[in-house]
Amino acid sequence: MPVVKPLEKENATPAAAELFAAIEQKFGMVPNIFRVMGHHAGVLGGFLKLFEAIQTDLEPRLRELAYLRTSVLNSCDYCTYYHRAAAKSAGMSDDEVDAVVNGRLEEFDGIDHDVLQFAEQLTLRAVVDEPLAERLRQSLTESEYVVLAATVCTANWTNRFNHACGVELP
């Protein structure tokens, strides 16, 4: 049940309405998470800048591995739903997506496994083991590593936002 109801377009401030128009142009709709954030255009605008920033540098597959695993760990059905689809768009197979969702990390190796471990450690303990961080630093540029960290942190933020506000699909 929504704690904060999604904002209807006709009730949006001019600033929120402008952001809604850009979101609709990009996604073909305004997902409820953005409609809830739209109650404060500054929060929505700030989030969209961060969300856009994490779409760069890091390979989409790695980004979606991290976002999806984080969302599953936090039991965020909303983000899990949308990032299952995003993971498939990033080239993951149905079997790979199911493995991430069901915690079968042993089905992954190399950088994929390290990214999943990174998402788990940062989400569950708020720290990353030094050997894992070093392996990732050998595989990723500093910019990619920063985007990976920001992706997991953003996923944790949206998961918690959705839980706090009772955001429901779609």
> Would you say residue 118 lies in a domain?
yes
Does one domain contain both 41 and 68? Answer: no
Does one domain contain both 114 and 161? Answer: yes
> Would you say residue 153 lies in a domain?
yes
- The arithmetic mean of pLDDT across residues 45-71, rounded, is 98
**Contacts of residue 84, Cβ cutoff 8 Å, sequence gap at least 6:** 68, 97, 101
At 67 the pLDDT is 99
Does one domain contain both 110 and 138? Answer: yes
Does one domain contain both 45 and 72? Answer: no
pTM of the model: 0.96
Does one domain contain both 35 and 119? Answer: no
For residues 30 and 1, the model is more confident at 30
Is the pLDDT assigned to residue 170 strictly greater than 90? no
**Contacts of residue 79, Cβ cutoff 8 Å, sequence gap at least 6:** 67, 71, 155, 158, 159, 162
> Would you say residue 150 lies in a domain?
yes
> Would you say residue 170 lies in a domain?
no
Q: What is the domain range of residue 48? A: 9-53
Does one domain contain both 160 and 119? Answer: yes
Confidence band, pLDDT 50/70/90 cuts, at residue 1: confident
Looking at the structure of the chain, the number of domains it has is 2
Amino acid identity for residue 38 in this structure? G
Does one domain contain both 43 and 99? Answer: no
